[in-house]
Amino acid sequence: MSGIDAPGTGRTAQDDESRPAQPPTSPPVTTIAEIGRHEGRRVLLRGWLYNLRESGKLLFPIFRDGTGTVQGVAHKAAVTAEVFERLRGLTRESSVVVTGAVRADKRAPGGYEIDVEDVVVLQRVAEDRPYPITLKQHGVEFLMEHRHLWIRSPRQSAILRIRAEIVKAARDYLDAQGFVLTDSPILTPAACEGASTLFPVDYFEDQAYLTQSGQLYIESTAMALGKVYSFGPTFRAEKSKTRRHLTEFWMVEPEIAFATLDDLMKLAEEFLSFIVQRVLAGRPRDLELLGRDTAKLEAIRAPFPRIRYDEAAAMLAEAHAHGLLEEKFEYGNDFGSPDETYLSSQFDRPLMVHRYPASVKAFYMQPDPDNPKLALCVDVLAPEGYGEVIGGSQRIDSLELLERRIEEHGLPRDAFAWYLDLRRYGSVPHGGFGMGIERVVAWICGLEHVRETIPFARTLNRIYP
């Protein structure tokens, strides 16, 4: 056992050695999330002092340990004078090992309190350099500058736990459906989603870029393995400051040989429903801490409404005519944020908009045989104004058409030679989609901005810490 594990008694190790052997009284180490299992018994918690209220002979420390927070009570009469003095005036975020008995308390946020018996301080935060994040309101810039500390706040920790649940749910779902995880490279020789948002990297003598999407590579692993997915960081040099855009974000991308657009829409609605229901079941306390209206999430069950781009455009024109939308939507454009917000606000589930004009979408999308001006693609717009969370399509499977598109888009043919091979050797219809983790976290948590959905957000103006 390390010193941290040892039950704190306020004595030093040397004192202990000089005493006769004591009966073992070491209480079990536990976490705040698990504290309820130890009701009525002594436990040992390891964490940090989140806050401390003092009232004469009573001290009310709040401890946090990464799994939650719990209030402690230290009566002057119930602890040694030494322990009382050690805790009194203890600075916020000092690291501590606490021994105490677990007591059920209906008024306590988690349902339990700790009757403190002992506190060992591992590191005391200096009085003249107090923890910078106080319980008062701070500006967002200040908080982002201190993001390495801000993530300790209960709210931010709850968001990160929910993010982890979402990532795990996404993987579990695809794994259970027989998808094989195939990682795609981050250093790539060419664009996937438009040259204007590429991050250049000096690759020895060559020019390389950070990947915008694993899609092109998993099209090839899908031809090898059938049903695959990639899950990794993706990069876009987005020069716009919006609440939905990061320059580095995580995308999960399933890709399926022989899939049609209908197959993709079915997968997208099942996938998203599974993820939302998993978070509701697994993270109820975190959702509560965030004040999330969970009734809105309960409603997220497949099937989702599906409308064509044309229908969506008509809805926007009508909304503009009735003064519900400020800016007029021009048919043939991609939707702007206000357009997406308006469209999604008309439904209580994510909205699937399919068959956009090919001209506003990526070069690789399969045209609709009924109207080749349209692409066999789908965007899934989250409710409550969270915008596009999934974008996907069928991929062009004809060699001639793909060659033409690469040329029309001014893309470097050499860099795509391998991609064209996929249409040369047993080409089949196929498709997939990408889901942006941060946008899904923002939606499920009900956050204003994606910057709080990832431990260290990368945006146009920030790459520190």
Residues near ligand 4AD (CB under 6 A) are 192-193, 213, 215, 236, 238, 245-246, 249, 251, 253, 388-392, 432-436, 438-439, 450
Element (H, E) at 339: helix 337-345
User: Closest CB to ligand 4AD among 113 and 193?
Assistant: 193
Report the nearest approach of ligand 4AD to the CB of residue 206 (Å): 23
231 binds, options Mg ion, ligand 4AD, none, Cβ within 5 to 8 A by partner type: none
Q: Are 102 and 114 in contact (CB under 8 A)?
A: yes
Distance CA 380, CA 97 (A): 47
Task: Provide the H-helix boundaries in 131-283.
Answer: 140-145, 147-150, 154-176, 215-225, 261-282
Report the nearest approach of ligand 4AD to the CB of residue 433 (Å): 5
Q: Is 391 in the site for Mg ion (CB under 5 A)?
A: yes
Residue 195 identity: A
Q: 129 by DSSP, 3-state: which? A: coil
Q: With contacts defined by CB under 5 A, name the span among 333-341, 353-361, 389-397, 450-458 that binds Mg ion.
A: 389-397
Report the nearest approach of ligand 4AD to the CB of residue 215 (Å): 4
Q: How far is CA 232 from CA 124, 131, 172, in A?
A: 38, 34, 16
Report the nearest approach of ligand 4AD to the CB of residue 434 (Å): 3
Report the nearest approach of Mg ion to the CB of residue 5 (Å): 50
253 binds, options Mg ion, ligand 4AD, none, Cβ within 5 to 8 A by partner type: ligand 4AD
Chain residue whose CB lies nearest Mg ion: 391
Q: With contacts defined by CB under 5 A, name the span among 84-92, 230-238, 383-391, 457-465 that binds Mg ion.
A: 383-391
Q: Is the peptide bond before 284 cis (omega within 30 degrees of 0)?
A: no
Report the nearest approach of ligand 4AD to the CB of residue 214 (Å): 7
User: Closest CB to Mg ion among 214 and 391?
Assistant: 391
Burial class (CB in 10 A: 0-12, 13-18, 19+), 178: exposed
344 binds, options ligand 4AD, Mg ion, none, Cβ within 5 to 8 A by partner type: none
Tokens of 445: 């948590």
Helix-helix angle 261-282:437-445, to 10 degrees: 50
Report the nearest approach of ligand 4AD to the CB of residue 231 (Å): 11
Q: What are phi and psi of 195, to 5 degrees?
A: -70, -20
Distance CA 334, CA 354 (A): 12
User: Closest CB to ligand 4AD among 251 and 376?
Assistant: 251
Report the nearest approach of ligand 4AD to the CB of residue 235 (Å): 9
249 binds, options Mg ion, ligand 4AD, none, Cβ within 5 to 8 A by partner type: ligand 4AD
Element (H, E) at 397: none
Task: Give bridge partners of residue 210 from the DSSP assignment.
Answer: 187
Measured at the CA of 365, the angle between CA 215 and CA 309, to 5 degrees, comes to: 120
259 binds, options ligand 4AD, Mg ion, none, Cβ within 5 to 8 A by partner type: none
436 binds, options ligand 4AD, Mg ion, none, Cβ within 5 to 8 A by partner type: ligand 4AD
Selection from 296, 279, 294, 249 nearest residue 391 by Cα:
249
DSSP sequence for 191-206: -SS-GGG--EEEETTE
Q: Are 35 and 43 in contact (CB under 8 A)?
A: yes
User: Closest CB to ligand 4AD among 47 and 432?
Assistant: 432
User: Closest CB to ligand 4AD among 8 and 432?
Assistant: 432
**Position of tokens 């007591």?**
103
Q: 376 by DSSP, 3-state: which? A: coil
Distance CA 465, CA 439 (A): 22
User: Closest CB to Mg ion among 254 and 391?
Assistant: 391
User: Closest CB to ligand 4AD among 112 and 235?
Assistant: 235
User: Closest CB to Mg ion among 70 and 381?
Assistant: 381
Distance CA 329, CA 399 (A): 35
Report the nearest approach of Mg ion to the CB of residue 236 (Å): 11
User: Closest CB to ligand 4AD among 50 and 364?
Assistant: 364
Report the nearest approach of ligand 4AD to the CB of residue 107 (Å): 41
43 binds, options Mg ion, ligand 4AD, none, Cβ within 5 to 8 A by partner type: none
Residues in touch with Mg ion (CB under 5 A): 391
